[in-house]
């Protein structure tokens, strides 16, 4: 069985999506629709923008979403998932690819998500850190022991967990994690504490937009970040998405459940190959590949 997986923030690069634009009239139509929906020429920024321009919040998230969803669309019948999942932002890409959300609705949600997250980051300084080489339960326990807000945010693969929260609490957790034997506890160059209680203002803002968006029955199950289990009920998918910004990304658990449910090949759809790398650390026995239009 084939599982298609969609990357999150950080996979952007200059020139992303240009090959799709040049190869497909359908892609050109979708890029043009995106420019109109967003009210600026995101296509130009994706194709010609500098690394710094592509890092801007109002660009990064929609750019990755567009690269992923347009690639899935242009693949046509070659895109035939038995199940899908997306890492953080990638979950909205996956929901468009499996027909739960319309393309324009997904893009609008991604843009609102980016702006709401930016606003939350500016309101309360916060950060994230990658912790390598400790078991999840130890990281969770050490975070719970700190003063202030610091929580497990991204369960990326065994031995790699990202923590998120207030700057002082994250720093003290990093010191305690190193003392407990972590190989590394490294602050990440991010704008704020994603997937933590610090994102509650953004969650509330985005929840209103999600509530007003139409969710339809998916073409195949999605393994959502919040639950890590296969979901096909549109109402449940909608509810889970509302809590994604403040809940941890259960990526390791999602991939393990997909394998349990019969996935033998994982195909990454979108920029970069981060998810293929994580899968090799989760379970080397399954095949991984990169989606392409060739």
- The CATH number covering residue 163 comes to 3.30.70.250
Helix (H, G, I), strand (E, B) or coil at 5: strand
Secondary structure (3-state) at 118: helix
The per-residue pLDDT for 191 is 82
Residue range 136-157: average pLDDT? 97
Taking the C-alpha atoms of residue 1 and residue 179, their distance in angstroms, rounded to an integer, is 43
Backbone angles phi, psi at 111, to 5 degrees: -65, -45
Residue 180 and residue 204 share a domain: no
Write the pLDDT tens digit of every residue in 59-96: 999 999 999 999 999 999 999 999 999 999 999 999 99
Q: Which domain holds residue 89?
A: 2-122+197-290
97-120 pLDDT tens trace: 999 999 999 999 999 999 999 999
Mean pLDDT of 244-262: 98
Instruction: Say yes or no to pLDDT of 294 above 80.
Output: no
Same domain for 85 and 8:
yes
pLDDT surpasses 80 at 158: yes
Domain count, the chain: 2
| Strand pairing report for 160-166 and 230-231 | unpaired
Q: What is the mean pLDDT of the chain?
A: 96
> What distance lies between CA 250 and its chain's CA centroid?
11
Where residue 97 sits, what CATH number does that domain have?
3.40.366.10
Boundary of a domain, candidates 187, 217, 238:
187
What's the confidence (pLDDT) of residue 102? 98
The catalytic residue positions are: 88, 195
User: What is the per-residue pLDDT across 187-232, written as a single tens digit (0 to 9) for each?
Assistant: 998 889 999 999 999 999 999 999 999 999 999 999 999 999 999 9
pTM for the full model?
A: 0.96
Q: Are residues 63 and 99 in the same domain?
A: yes
């Amino acid at each position: 069985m084939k599982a298609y997986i969609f990357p999150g923030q950080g996979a952007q690069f200059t020139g992303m999506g240009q090959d799709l634009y040049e190869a497909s009239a359908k892609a050109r139509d979708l890029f043009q629709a995106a420019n109109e929906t967003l009210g600026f020429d995101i296509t130009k920024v994706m194709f010609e923008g500098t690394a710094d321009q592509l890092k801007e919040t109002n660009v990064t998230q929609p750019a990755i979403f567009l690269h992923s969803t347009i690639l899935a669309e242009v693949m046509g019948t070659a895109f035939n998932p038995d199940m899908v999942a997306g890492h953080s932002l990638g979950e909205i890409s996956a929901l468009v690819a499996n027909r739960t959300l319309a393309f324009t609705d997904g893009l609008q949600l991604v843009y609102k998500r980016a702006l709401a997250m930016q606003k939350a980051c500016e309101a309360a300084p916060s950060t994230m850190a990658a912790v390598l080489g400790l078991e999840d339960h130890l990281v969770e326990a050490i975070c719970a022991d700190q003063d202030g807000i610091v929580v497990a945010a991204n369960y990326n693969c065994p031995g790699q967990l990202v923590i998120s929260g207030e700057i002082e609490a994250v720093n003290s957790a990093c010191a305690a994690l190193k003392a407990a034997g972590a190989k590394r506890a490294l602050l990440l160059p991010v704008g704020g504490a994603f997937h933590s209680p610090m994102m509650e203002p953004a969650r509330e803002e985005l929840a209103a937009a999600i509530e007003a968006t139409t969710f339809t029955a998916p073409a195949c199950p999605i393994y959502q970040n919040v639950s890590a289990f296969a979901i096909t009920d549109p109402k449940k998918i909608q509810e889970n998405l509302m809590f994604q910004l403040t809940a941890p990304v259960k990526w390791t658990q999602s991939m393990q459940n997909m394998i349990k449910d019969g996935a033998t090949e994982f195909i990454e759809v979108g920029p970069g190959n981060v998810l293929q790398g994580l899968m090799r650390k989760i379970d080397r026995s399954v095949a991984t590949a990169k989606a392409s239009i060739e």
